[in-house]
Amino acid sequence: MFKVLAAATALGTMMSAAVAQENGPITQVTLSSGGLAEIVRTARVTGSGLVEVDIPTAQIDDVLKSLLVRDPSGKVGKVSLDGPAQDDLARRALPFPAGELTSVPSLLSALQGSRMTISSGGKTLTGLVMGVETRSMGENETLALLTVVSDDGAIDTLKLGPDARLTIEDPSVRRKVDASIKAAGARASDGSRLVRIAVEGSGERDVTLSYVVEASVWKAAYRIVADQDGKARMQAWAILENASGEDWNGIHLSLSSGKPVTLKQALHRRYWADRTEVPVSVGSAPLPATDTGVLAMESADHEPSRMRASAMLAAPAPAAEPAPLLSQAVSAEASEGDLSARYFLPGTYDLQSGQSLSVPLVDADLQASLVSVYRSGQASSHPIASVSLTNATGASLPPGIVTVYDERSGYLGDAQLGGVPPLESRLAGFAADSKVQVVEEAEDETSIIDVKAVDGLLKATFRNRQSVTYRIAGAADAPRTVVIEHPRMAGWTFASDAADGETATHHRLKASISPSSSATVKAMQEMIREEAYALVDADAQQLVSLAGSARDPETRRKIEELADARRRQSEAQRAIDDATRDIDERSQAQARIRDNLGAVPDNSDLQKSYLQRLSKAEDAISALEAKRGEACEAEAEASKLVGEAIRSFTSD
């Protein structure tokens, strides 16, 4: 095994060395269902030298993140490649915008003041460019007229035609223009970067490079042929694509069904740190006050304050809060799996870039059976025909689509299969079983199983019980195995004679149904909970309902006494409320009579009638007040009994 010497990511200037091999051929590829590919290259190296690999620009960040170099008898020097956006650096060095490089007139306008030699229409001028004037010569025609200051000071003009030719006489300007044009050309074809890996050692040897890059996700597709003896033939095929941008010739291919955490970062991007700009202080000294003589002495006492204000106005503004140095690079969403499998495909493979391939992964006889699965609460009363599959292949099966066949009937339907670890079982539903029907009936029951008094509280223990009965009508022409998925409820205990395992969300019940027969499956879930009631707040109805479930006869007696006292207290309070309401109504009627009485003539029949009604109202109010007084006494007595009953719970 080669010793891992370095995972090189440093960028720098390479020392002189002979190129050992360019683009060491790809010898091995591992595709992950997480959307990545591990590429392995092998290069033959003699002594110290360079291994050069042409990497697509889109993969540079991943290569810088993951490049691993294995040298059996040497060591890795460093890695170098061109930085991002080389033309941007060249354009920054130009004394004019890069867009002015598109034509001779625009370039001459941008190079105003530069020394040039320009020829057009058989005429040649040499001197400093003064400017270019554009004139309209018609509806669709323009004329560019160049003005040049010659060496003797003369100002000449030149019409710039299609045969215009110019020479930049200033070497520094010429170098900047040449560099920018070359960089722009490189950017137009900037589809890859040449990565140079320096290795140091002696002798002839194979150097291995491996790195992880983005790749299209490979898929799994299953074919399952079920028989009547609890067996099934399963074939798993992988569908993959070469999206690396490079042909694969004679490579070893492997597939991983794991779900690694996959991150990316723009390591090849150029970042700049933000710096706080400090304003330049341009304040001047305050203007001295004008001497206005002794009469201004009193007002001069206030001058220092005005001078201080002037100095404050002249002071520089405070610096702004510093901006963040760097925005954190956005990372891709991450998912993590705890189980994975890797499939090494036999032989070697040739696959051109952009082509797809389907290869077999698994071909095995497995324990499998056809069952009908009903999930509690589903919309249809018909269960779903499913295949129950146990993975005995020795490796995890990746998730994928399943095509289900029966050896007698042929195609049955399609299903989805999640990842299946070794020796675990899964259900994959593929069709509705319309010959079987399931009806569920649910009953809820709540009962009090214990009541005790503790520290001024009545603590009641309740039992909530939920019973569900599943009535199954089987198929008329064939036996069925029906699996019922009953929902799990947190905090509840579960019991069923038909229990057959559970999932993270459901209990599973199983029943075997003969042809033209039916069956009943029952499931029960139970939860014990406790509630506390303050004795001073519990009403009579609550106390009566709790008394029958008291832990002992003495507690039951005390609860019943408290319930009776609370009932009497409530009745007395209702009597007080009723009397008070009636008194208010009578008083309002009495007030209306008094108002009317003041508006009628003295000694009239109407006055006599109002006086009689007023007298009756007074008598009624007096009777109600007496009744209310009796109710208040009864309420006080009942409240006393309530207090004594409550104290009896804590007197023991």
The DSSP code sequence of 391-426 is --SSSPBPPEEEEEEETTTEEEEEEEE--B-TT-EE
**Count of domains forming the chain:** 3
CB burial of residue 81 (10 Å; 0-12, 13-18, 19+): buried
Q: Which residue has the higher pLDDT, 100 or 198?
A: 198
The per-residue pLDDT for 186 is 62
Residue 384 confidence (pLDDT) above 80: yes
SS3 assignment, position 585? helix
**pLDDT tier for residue 1 given thresholds of 50, 70 and 90:** very low
The answer for 643, left when phi > 0, alpha when psi is -120 to 50, beta otherwise, is alpha
pLDDT for 317 beyond 50: no
Least confident of 19-23, 206-210, 545-549, 624-628: 19-23
Which of the residue ranges 372-381, 484-493, 560-569 would you say has the lowest mean pLDDT? 560-569
Q: What is the model's pLDDT at position 443?
A: 94
At 278, phi and psi to the nearest 5? -95, 125
Strand partners, 4: 70
Helix (H, G, I), strand (E, B) or coil at 309: helix
Lowest mean pLDDT among 54-58, 72-76, 634-638: 72-76
Measure the CA–CA gap between 121 and 565, rounded to whole angstroms: 123
Residue 249 has what pLDDT?
A: 94
Q: Which residues contact 488 (CB under 8 A, 6 or more apart)?
A: 494, 502, 504, 505, 506, 507
Strand order in the sheet with 457-473: 437-454, 457-473, 518-534, 493-495
Using CB atoms within 10 Å of the CB of residue 420, give its burial: 0 to 12 exposed, 13 to 18 middle, 19+ buried.
Answer: buried
**Residue 313: what pLDDT?**
36
How many CA atoms are closer than 13 Å to the CA of 566, on its beta-carbon side?
18
Whether residue 333 has pLDDT greater than 50: no
Residue 571 lies in a domain: yes
**Average pLDDT of the segment spanning 611-627:** 86
**Mean pLDDT (whole number) for 458-486:** 93
552 and 462 housed in the same domain: no
Same domain, 161 and 128: yes
Exposure letters 406-415 (e unless 16+ CB within 10 A, then b): beeeeebbeb
**Do residues 200 and 15 lie in contact, with contact meaning Cβ atoms separated by under 8 Å?**
no
Question: Please, which residues have CB within 8 angstroms of residue 169's CB and are 6 or more apart in sequence?
Answer: 114, 115, 116, 117, 126
Residue 80: pLDDT band with limits 50, 70, 90: confident
The 10s digit of each residue's pLDDT in 482-512 is: 999 999 999 999 999 999 999 999 999 999 9
Give the residue from 534, 558, 583 where a domain finishes: 534
Distance CA 339, CA 399 (A): 12
Residues 523 and 565 in one domain: no
CB atoms within 10 A of CB 517: 14
Residue 290: pLDDT above 80? no
Mark whether 514 and 579 lie in a shared domain: no
| Structure tokens, 500 | 């057959």
- Average pLDDT along the chain: 81
Instruction: Say what percent of the chain tops pLDDT 70.
Output: 83
In the predicted structure, residue 429 carries a pLDDT above the cut 90: yes
pLDDT confidence band for 82 (50 / 70 / 90): confident
User: CB under 8 Å to 193, separation ≥6 — which residues?
Assistant: 54, 55, 57, 60, 81, 82, 268
Q: Are 440 and 469 in contact (CB under 8 A)?
A: yes
Over residues 322-340, mean pLDDT: 33
Domain range holding 607?
Answer: 540-648
Give a yes or no: residue 553 inside a domain: yes
3 state DSSP class of 175: helix
Would you say residue 546 lies in a domain? Answer: yes
Comparing 546 with 335, the larger pLDDT belongs to 546
Q: State yes or no: pLDDT of 407 exceeds 90.
A: no
Select from 504, 534, 564 the last residue of a domain.
Answer: 534
Do 492 and 552 fall into the same domain? no
Question: Does some domain include residue 283?
Answer: no
Per-residue pLDDT at 619 exceeds 60: yes
**Is 222 inside a domain boundary?**
no
Query: Binning pLDDT at 50, 70 and 90, where does residue 450 land?
Result: confident
Q: Specify whether 482 is located in the same domain as 521.
A: yes
pLDDT for residue 297 is more than 90: no
CATH number where 504 lies? 2.60.40
- Sorting pLDDT into bands at 50, 70 and 90, what band is 298? very low
Report, as an integer, the average pLDDT of 391-413.
90
Angle between helices 553-597 and 540-547 (to 10 degrees): 160
Q: What pLDDT score does 326 carry?
A: 27
Between 320 and 443, the more confident residue is 443
CB neighbours (10 Å) of residue 61? 18
What's the average model confidence in pLDDT over 231-240? 91
> What pLDDT does 283 receive?
63
Which residues in 307-424 belong to E strands, given as ranges? 342-344, 349-351, 356-375, 384-390, 400-406, 410-417
Scanning 503-604, the segments in alpha helix (DSSP H) are: 540-547, 553-597
> Are 448 and 467 in a shared domain?
yes
Phi, psi (deg, nearest 5) at residue 401: -85, 150
pLDDT in tens, 242-275: 998 889 999 999 998 877 888 999 998 888 888 8
Asked whether residue 349 is assigned to any structural domain, the reply reads no
Higher pLDDT, 259 or 284: 259
- In angstroms, the Cα distances linking 128 to 97, 123, 151, 175 are 20, 16, 8, 18
Instruction: Order across the sheet with 142-150: list the strands.
Output: 155-160, 142-150, 123-136, 115-120, 165-168
Q: Are residues 526 and 577 in the same domain?
A: no
pLDDT tier, 304 (very low <50, low <70, confident <90, very high otherwise): very low
Paired with 56 in beta bridges are 192
Q: What is the mean pLDDT of residues 28-43?
A: 92
* DSSP code for 648: H
Claim to verify: residue 528 and residue 477 sit in the same structural domain: yes
Domain termination residue (choose one: 169, 192, 208)? 169
Residue 50: per-residue pLDDT:
87
pLDDT for res 100: 65
Q: Which of 328-332, 441-445, 465-469 shows the lowest mean pLDDT across its residues?
A: 328-332
Question: Quick one: average pLDDT of 390-415?
Answer: 90
In a domain, 103, yes or no: no
Question: In terms of domains, do 523 and 623 share one?
Answer: no
Say yes or no: 448 and 489 in one domain: yes
Residue 427 β-bridge partners: 388
Q: Report d(CA 222, CA 208) in Å as an integer.
A: 35
Residue 420 scores a pLDDT above 70: yes
Identify residue 579 by its one-letter amino acid code: A
Of 290-294, 333-337, 461-465, 509-513, give the lowest mean pLDDT range: 333-337
% of the chain at pLDDT higher than 90 = 31
Amino acid at 56: P
Among 187-196, 507-516, 590-599, the range scoring the smallest mean pLDDT is: 187-196
Question: Within a domain: residue 414?
Answer: no
Both tokens of 191, joined, read 């589809």
Higher pLDDT, 309 or 183: 183
- Label the pairing between strands 356-375 and 480-487: parallel
- Judged against a pLDDT cut of 70, whether residue 232 lies above it is answered with yes
Question: Are 464 and 495 in the same domain?
Answer: yes
